């Protein structure tokens, strides 16, 4: 079973791109399974199920979504093996821009859209920097020049990645993406012992544990203060 | 550049020999300011752990990426040695699996090809085949040759040397910039040398195409539909590196379409235009007719058709002048105009 991790900012078009790409796998008789990670709510599993493929969703609720992802990925892989899929795709939103759910030696795809602003590639951090493939969406509604500038910005943050422009609405480029993200020589049996490409940010303070009161007296653990002194201004 | 040599290079020296690396350091949030006299190796050796964690810096990944980036940029500067002169389409299959019935279609620089056919007939797939220089590996099994040869995978999927630039009337400007700053940003990202000349040329051409004039200080998001289209076309013709331009429906774009096509052709672009507008379609040298997911036939524009084009253009001119009269608050007297 090949494993592919897909992530990207909310509303960048991850699900649309995956739906169009999976349609191409189905046409080639390749069996795909999807696990959708989200925070509070998602209906996207229904869209995947409509394609007639096995799908599961995981909502992190009150936990940090990327931490939730790592704590569950091993079980997710077991599920994929049980379903006997050829490709297992995980989809998760990078919600805080500092995390990235990518695992060493597992194909990592980042989806980012042209509308998000030219400074976004710089802001996204590890999720974009360490991806193998960067898919840029919504190119059909911005100008050629903006697409070119945006591509350059992505390239300057991640020069190693293969950058593809895919249209999630009409599927232009989805076939090409499907040939890129899947390698039938990859056989993932377990993730035991594998490591993340990036450490996730440290966070263990009183608020992690359910504290709601504001004020120094209630803050414990990993707390850092914003610099509001005059020295820079 | 060799990685070991790079590690022993002083940051400041690297910025001098490879100026674009400064932005690379900035984009990766590397706090180099004040440390320019250090070698890259020493800089990272003494970089505070807290900063590394805070800025999510992965030193090994950064250095490898930097090597790649320098490599990439150096190919960027020399890659224009081969100009793309022809695109050849070899037949594949219709949606139902029957073979397409033509030998091959060769399109040369400066030619205009119209693509016609009902919605959903397979135009997007043809355009995608050309965009990715299909090599018998797409659902249509078509082969697209550039300059008579199939492209290597790294050429097909290179983000900085894309074959195809696209223009459609659904496209809008989204950046918060003035016309001048926008052109400056695009020209900078293309690393052209004669930037100011380039900006002026695009600005003048865009105003030449647009029905209504605009200034360099106008925010691009405030341009009218016609002005936006004019700027997009002029910018794509002059500044985009892609040798092929795909135009999707610019019927109602509110610009001088003939001048727009002339501009693209004069900049040595290969123009493919998906359209149902008779004026635009007949301006093409050939028309590719798409049906049932495949290329049904190729029609070469005949002399008679060209004559019709003349009449259509007169009608179009009448429409344009009426539009202008309306715009300027004048009354329209129909018989006189016809």
Q: What tens digit of pLDDT does each residue of B255-307 get?
A: 788 888 899 988 889 999 988 888 888 888 999 999 988 999 999 999 999 88
Place of tokens 């004020």: A215
Distance CA A195, CA A152 (A): 30
Instruction: Find out whether A81 and A1 touch, Cβ atoms under 8 Å.
Output: yes
Enter the DSSP assignment of B311: H
Q: In B, which residues are within 8 Å of A130 by CB distance?
A: 58, 61
Q: CB A126 to CB B53 under 8 A? A: no
Confidence of residue B252 (pLDDT cuts 50, 70, 90): low
How is A101-153 classified by DSSP, letter by letter?
--BTTSEEEEEEEGGG-TTHHHHHTHHHHT-SEEEEE-GGGB-HHHHHHHHHH
B166 beta partners: B246
pLDDT at A132 over 90: yes
The pLDDT score that the predictor gives to residue B151 is 87
Closest approach of B331 to chain A, Cα-based (Å): 36
One domain for residues B68 and B117:
no
All domains in chain A, ordered by first residue? 2-181 (3.40.50.300)
- Boundary of a domain, candidates B22, B47, B80: B80
B291 beta partners: B294
One domain for residues B49 and B91:
no
Q: Which residue of B has its CA nearest to A174?
A: B128
Say what the ipTM of the complex is. Answer: 0.80
The pLDDT score that the predictor gives to residue B255 is 77
pLDDT at B119 over 50: yes
Which residues lie closer than 8 Å to B86 by C-beta, 6 or more apart? Answer: B106, B107, B108, B109, B145, B146, B147, B148, B270
Q: CB B171 to CB A141 under 8 A? A: yes
The pLDDT score that the predictor gives to residue B82 is 67
How far is the CA of B253 from the CAs of B239, B256, B321, B325, in angstroms?
A: 21, 9, 16, 18
One domain for residues B72 and B172:
no
Distance CA B131, CA B108 (A): 16
One domain for residues B168 and B253:
yes
Instruction: Find out whether A151 and B159 touch, Cβ atoms under 8 Å.
Output: yes
Q: For B42-89, write each residue's pLDDT tens digit.
A: 999 999 888 888 888 889 889 999 998 988 887 766 555 567 789 999
The pLDDT score that the predictor gives to residue A233 is 47
What is the average per-residue pLDDT within A16-42?
A: 94
Q: CB B64 to CB A199 under 8 A? A: no
Q: For A185-206, write each residue's pLDDT tens digit.
A: 999 999 988 999 888 777 777 8
Average predicted confidence (pLDDT) for chain B: 88
Q: CB A142 to CB B171 under 8 A? A: yes
pLDDT at A119 over 90: no
In the sheet that B143-146 helps form, which strands lie side by side, from edge to edge?
B105-108, B86-90, B143-146
The pLDDT score that the predictor gives to residue B337 is 53
Q: In B, which residues are within 8 Å of A151 by CB distance?
A: 159-160
The pLDDT score that the predictor gives to residue B139 is 86
What tokens were used for A20?
């169009």
The residue of A25, A119, A148 whose CB has the most chain B CBs within 10 angstroms, and thus the best one to mutate to test that interface, is A148
What is the average per-residue pLDDT within B126-155?
A: 88
For chain A, percent of residues with pLDDT exceeding 90: 55
One domain for residues B154 and B51:
no
One domain for residues B284 and B135:
yes
pLDDT at A61 over 70: yes
> Nearest by CB to A143, which of B20, B65, B232?
B232
> Nearest by CB to A144, which of B72, B132, B165?
B165
**Domain around B322:** 304-338
Q: Which residue of A has its CA nearest to B64?
A: A160
The pLDDT score that the predictor gives to residue B251 is 65
pLDDT at B196 over 90: yes
Q: CB B240 to CB A145 under 8 A? A: yes
Distance CA A59, CA B252 (A): 46
Q: CB B23 to CB A156 under 8 A? A: yes
> Nearest by CB to B175, which of A118, A154, A163?
A118
pLDDT at B141 over 60: yes
One domain for residues B273 and B203:
yes
The b-or-e profile of B224-238 (16+ CB within 10 A means b, else e) is: eebbbbbbbbbbbbb
One domain for residues B26 and B169:
no
Q: CB A129 to CB B157 under 8 A? A: no
Which CATH number does the domain housing residue B236 bear? 3.40.50.300
- Boundary of a domain, candidates B80, B104, B123: B80
- Boundary of a domain, candidates B80, B109, B141: B80
Distance CA B284, CA A190 (A): 57
> Nearest by CB to B171, which of A98, A126, A143?
A143
Under 8 Å CB pairs connecting chains A and B tally to 122
pLDDT at B173 over 70: yes
Burial of A26 (0-12, 13-18, 19+ CB in 10 A): middle
pLDDT at B335 over 80: no
* Domain count for chain B: 3
Torsion, Cα B281 B286 B291 B293, to 10 degrees, reads -110
Enter the DSSP assignment of A11: T
What tokens were used for B17?
């020999």
Distance CA A145, CA B187 (A): 9
One domain for residues B116 and B246:
yes
Give the residue with greater pLDDT, B116 vs B82: B116
One domain for residues B268 and B183:
yes
Closest approach of A224 to chain B, Cα-based (Å): 11
One domain for residues B171 and B192:
yes
pLDDT at A89 over 90: yes
Distance CA A94, CA A67 (A): 11
Q: In A, which residues are within 8 Å of B173 by CB distance?
A: 142-143, 146
Roughly what angle, to the nearest 10 degrees, separates helices B225-239 and A144-157? 50
Q: In B, which residues are within 8 Å of A164 by CB distance?
A: 157, 159
Q: In A, which residues are within 8 Å of B53 by CB distance?
A: 199, 201-202
Q: In A, which residues are within 8 Å of B170 by CB distance?
A: 140-141
One domain for residues B273 and B243:
yes
What tokens were used for B268?
């040595």
Q: CB B228 to CB A143 under 8 A? A: yes
């Amino acid at each position: 079973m090949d494993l592919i991790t897909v992530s990207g900012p909310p509303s960048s078009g991850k699900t649309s791109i995956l739906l169009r790409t999976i349609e191409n796998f189905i046409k080639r008789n390749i069996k795909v399974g999807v696990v959708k990670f989200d925070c509070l709510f998602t209906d996207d599993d229904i869209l995947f199920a409509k394609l007639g493929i096995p799908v599961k969703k995981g909502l992190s609720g009150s936990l940090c979504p990327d931490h939730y992802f790592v704590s569950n990925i091993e079980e997710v892989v077991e599920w994929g093996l049980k379903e006997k899929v050829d490709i297992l795709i995980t989809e998760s939103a990078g919600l805080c821009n500092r995390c990235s759910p990518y695992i060493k030696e597992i194909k990592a795809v980042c989806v980012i859209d042209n509308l998000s602003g030219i400074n976004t590639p710089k802001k996204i951090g590890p999720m974009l920097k360490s991806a193998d493939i960067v898919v840029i969406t919504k190119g059909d509604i911005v100008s050629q020049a903006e697409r070119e500038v945006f591509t350059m910005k992505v390239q300057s943050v991640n020069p190693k990645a293969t950058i593809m422009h895919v249209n999630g609405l009409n599927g232009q480029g989805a076939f090409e993406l499907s040939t890129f993200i899947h390698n039938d020589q990859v056989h993932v049996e377990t993730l035991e012992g594998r490591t993340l490409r990036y450490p996730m940010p440290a966070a263990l303070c009183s608020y992690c544990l359910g504290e709601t009161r504001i004020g120094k007296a209630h803050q414990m653990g990993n707390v850092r203060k914003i610099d509001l002194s005059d020295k820079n201004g | 550049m060799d990685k070991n040599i790079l590690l022993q290079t002083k940051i400041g020296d690297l910025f001098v020999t490879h100026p674009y690396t400064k932005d690379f350091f900035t984009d990766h949030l590397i706090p180099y300011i004040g440390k320019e006299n250090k070698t890259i190796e020493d800089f990272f050796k003494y970089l505070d752990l807290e900063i590394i964690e805070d800025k999510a810096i992965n030193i090994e990944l950064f250095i490898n990426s930097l090597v790649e980036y320098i490599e990439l940029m150096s190919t960027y500067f020399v890659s224009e040695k081969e100009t793309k002169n022809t695109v050849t389409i070899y037949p594949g299959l219709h949606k139902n699996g029957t073979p397409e019935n033509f030998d091959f279609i060769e399109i040369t620089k400066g030619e205009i090809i119209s693509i016609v056919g009902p919605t959903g007939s397979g135009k997007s797939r043809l355009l995608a085949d050309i965009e990715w220089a299909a090599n018998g590996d797409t659902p249509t099994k078509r082969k697209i040759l550039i300059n008579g040869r199939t492209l290597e995978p790294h050429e097909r999927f290179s983000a900085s040397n894309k074959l195809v630039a696209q223009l459609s009337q659904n496209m809008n400007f989204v950046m918060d910039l003035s016309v001048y700053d926008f052109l400056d940003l695009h020209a900078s990202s293309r690393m052209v040398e004669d930037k100011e000349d380039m900006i002026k040329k695009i600005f003048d051409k865009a105003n030449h195409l647009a029905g209504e004039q605009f200034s360099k200080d106008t925010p691009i998001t405030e341009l009218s539909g016609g002005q936006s289209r004019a700027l997009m076309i002029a910018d794509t013709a002059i500044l985009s590196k892609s040798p092929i331009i795909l135009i999707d429906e610019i019927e109602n774009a509110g610009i001088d379409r003939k001048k727009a096509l002339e501009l693209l052709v004069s900049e040595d672009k290969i123009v493919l235009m998906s359209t149902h507008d008779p004026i635009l379609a007949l301006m093409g040298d050939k028309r590719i007719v798409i049906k049932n997911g495949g290329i049904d036939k190729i029609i070469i524009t005949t002399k008679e058709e060209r004559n019709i084009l003349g009449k259509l253009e007169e009608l179009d001119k009448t429409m344009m002048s009426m539009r202008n009269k309306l715009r300027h608050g004048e009354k329209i007297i129909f018989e006189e105009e016809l």
